[in-house]
């Protein structure tokens, strides 16, 4: 069975090459099997995703051979497998949009700085990171700095990048300004808190009430949150009222929660919607539109990446994020490391549950 992911991608080598770093000619001549996760139809990830051995052709002159090290299970991955995401890859397909791998070998015509031993992350969407090894065009991966911890590297390209772009691209917020967001305990929300704090911005962070609300508030405050409130507390919070009115609102919940943070905006403020976890539409109060002239925008990291495939701004963004991470100002989300062979456990624990998502599941190869 041929397994498709990104067109430049093929699947992989024997597990015996897991730590291989020797004779490059031996790698080029080897033709064997490797292990990947595959789904042939859309549906419940726990039912449609299976582990398979797949064949790999020889390394082409413009390709790199990558041994995957770690790959997270993101909500977009789950939605893609379910068939409800905006991107629907050709089936059968290998899931996984994000991850970090180690270059084992480069083709003889690869002119970039890539060398065996370098660590790389995908440049393209739907590369198919849930596999032990992959072949990809050298232009489809990005070399990352040495010394970056494994979890940060595996999770840098989606959630922190989304947070970074929303803070940079819609409103010229500056040090001392206020940003409000809902879903603040999500992976993107936690990245917003930390990046905003590093840039000197104040954040109002709205979360759903729960039995562990005190612990959650302490956790987010420890990341740098200025104020953490529940949806019920937002309107009457004296802490919120004491801050400058926000010029930027970040909405991943929509429905009533989105409406409430929209009401907090200063005149001519902007609300950016990047998710709809409530599965309810965005509703804007007429008064906010007429009297405050607020603007509603949307953001999708996949589209931004396609539009900036080889743009220097993409590498500049990643450089800044890695610098924040290495300086201790950007920590990876709460997570659980799951051996690749236990992928069903990761899928189960990555499914949405009441009270938002739990710890991010990260497959380790």
Q: Same structural domain for residues 146 and 181?
A: no
Sign of the torsion angle spanned by Cα atoms 230, 233, 239, 244 = positive
Q: In this structure, is residue 310 part of a structural domain? A: no
Q: Same structural domain for residues 147 and 121?
A: yes
* Mean pLDDT of the chain, nearest integer: 90
DSSP letter for each residue of 198-234: HTT-EEEEEE---TTHHHHHHHHHHHT-SEEEETTTT
Q: In this structure, is residue 199 part of a structural domain? A: yes
Using one digit for the tens of pLDDT, what is the confidence trace for 212-248? Answer: 999 999 999 999 999 999 999 999 999 999 999 999 9
Q: Same structural domain for residues 270 and 344?
A: no
Cα 262 to chain center, whole Å?
25
Q: In this structure, is residue 1 part of a structural domain? A: no
Q: Same structural domain for residues 147 and 173?
A: no
Q: Same structural domain for residues 168 and 206?
A: yes
Are 30 and 100 in contact by the 8 Å Cβ rule? The answer is no
Are 99 and 72 in contact by the 8 Å Cβ rule? The answer is yes
Using one digit for the tens of pLDDT, what is the confidence trace for 78-95? Answer: 999 999 999 999 999 999
Domain of residue 113, residue span:
15-157+334-364
pTM for this predicted structure: 0.89
Q: Does the pLDDT at position 2 exceed 60? A: no
pLDDT at 33: 72
Q: Same structural domain for residues 127 and 243?
A: no
Q: The domain that contains 245 carries what CATH number?
A: 3.40.50.720
Q: In this structure, is residue 107 part of a structural domain? A: yes
Are 151 and 98 in contact by the 8 Å Cβ rule? The answer is no
Q: In this structure, is residue 65 part of a structural domain? A: yes
Residue 279 burial by Cβ neighbours in a 10 Å radius (0-12, 13-18, 19+): exposed
Q: In this structure, is residue 292 part of a structural domain? A: yes
Q: How many domains does the chain have?
A: 2
State the catalytic residues.
Answer: 85
């Amino acid at each position: 069975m041929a397994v498709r992911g990104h067109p430049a991608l093929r699947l992989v080598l024997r597990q015996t090459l897991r730590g291989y770093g020797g004779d490059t000619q031996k790698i080029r001549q080897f033709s064997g099997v490797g292990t990947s996760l595959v789904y042939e139809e859309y549906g419940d990830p726990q039912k449609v995703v299976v582990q398979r051995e797949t064949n790999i052709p020889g390394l082409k002159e413009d390709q790199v051979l990558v041994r995957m090290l770690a790959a997270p299970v993101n909500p977009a991955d789950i939605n893609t497998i379910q068939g409800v995401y905006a991107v629907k890859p050709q089936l059968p397909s290998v899931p996984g949009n994000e991850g970090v791998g180690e270059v084992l070998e480069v083709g003889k015509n690869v002119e970039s700085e890539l060398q065996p031993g370098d660590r790389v992350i995908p440049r393209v969407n739907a590369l198919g990171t849930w596999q032990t090894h992959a072949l990809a065009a050298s232009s489809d991966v990005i070399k990352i700095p040495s010394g970056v911890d494994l979890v940060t590297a595996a999770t840098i390209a989606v959630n922190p990048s989304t947070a970074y772009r929303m803070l940079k691209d819609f409103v010229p917020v500056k040090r001392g300004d206020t940003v409000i967001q809902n879903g603040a305990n999500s992976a993107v929300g936690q990245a917003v808190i930390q990046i905003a704090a590093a840039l000197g911005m104040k954040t109002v962070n709205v979360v759903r009430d729960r039995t562990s609300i005190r612990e959650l508030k302490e956790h987010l405050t420890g990341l740098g949150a200025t104020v953490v409130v529940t949806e019920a507390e937002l309107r009457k919070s004296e802490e919120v009222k004491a801050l400058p009115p926000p010029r930027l609102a970040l909405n991943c919940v929509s429905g009533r929660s989105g409406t409430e943070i929209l009401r907090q905006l200063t005149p001519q403020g902007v609300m950016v919607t990047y998710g709809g976890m409530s599965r309810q539409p965005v509703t804007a109060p007429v008064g906010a539109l007429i009297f405050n002239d607020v603007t509603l925008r949307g953001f999708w990291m996949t589209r931004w990446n396609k539009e900036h495939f080889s743009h220097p701004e993409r590498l500049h963004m990643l450089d800044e994020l890695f610098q924040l991470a290495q300086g201790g100002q950007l920590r990876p989300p709460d997570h659980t490391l799951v051996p690749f062979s236990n992928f069903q456990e990761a899928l189960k624990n990555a499914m949405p549950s009441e009270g938002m998502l739990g710890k991010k599941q990260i497959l380790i190869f």
